[in-house]
Structure 1
Amino acid sequence: MKRLTSKTFDSSKGVSAHITEMRDLAAQLKILKIDISEPFLVHFILNSLPAKYGPFKISYNTYKEEWSITKLLTMCVQEEERMKHDKAEVAHLATRPNGKGKKDHGKRQYKVPPKTDGSKVKCFFCKKDGAFST
């Protein structure tokens, strides 16, 4: 029971392996005369999925009929594939201020606001806190 209730999703194995392991743990409990209903197990598995499956969970909760473990497995694998293909591409933008300034040989410093986690930004070039060199 402890193994089932403490099971967390391991993204390196994939959602299919996660669901299969949880289903197998429920089957082992059934042998010990601890019967877990399929709808309960489906909800339990959904709750064990990480936050990135949030929209998928909401979609399930608005769906009218209950899913079997097999249907859940199929839908989760499809969702995992969709998320792999829909990863957003990231582009970084670097800018320089316009205007006149003293010759700095490409080492202009700009004040950068502090990070929200309380740590300070450190310049890669001059190693000063709060400075940013280009």
Structure 2
Amino acid sequence: MRALIQRVTEASVTVDGEVIGEICAGLLILICAMQGDGEAEADKLAAKIAKLRIFEDEAGKMNRSVLDTGGAALVVSQFTLAADTSRGNRPGFSTAAPPAEGERLYEYFAGQVRAQGIETATGSFGADMKVRLLNDGPVTIWMDTAA
């Protein structure tokens, strides 16, 4: 699985003009299931993100996790994280999991983030979403379970 994680002071996702998920301080997690991914990859990634120390402590060092801060997570499906730009100018997405499997793993991953004890909001798989965020830092981190 691939994830792009952004530390945010707020984030929301809107579908058809209606806010369907929003958080205050915490993490915006853009997530993509890749071909061959399963629940083991989702479990590993959710646990790693929950413990990722990217929030500042009292000394100003990135030493605290979203769990430590009581922050929330907004999990948004993002198949374009599978983009292959090695040929031509139009990205290919053939390495992303098929839609049905991608949706299943997206929902499973969001559940695993929630199971870590993190308040979790979500987008809508396959929908035309508008995502708003106020990146804090900015702190943006790329994660891939295959790497």
Q: With structure 2 as the length reference, what TM-score do the two structures score? A: 0.27
Q: Hey, which of these two has a bigger chunk of strand by percent?
A: 2
Q: With structure 1 as the length reference, what TM-score do the two structures score? A: 0.28
**Relative contact order: is structure 1 or structure 2 higher (C-alpha 8 Å, sep ≥ 6)?**
2
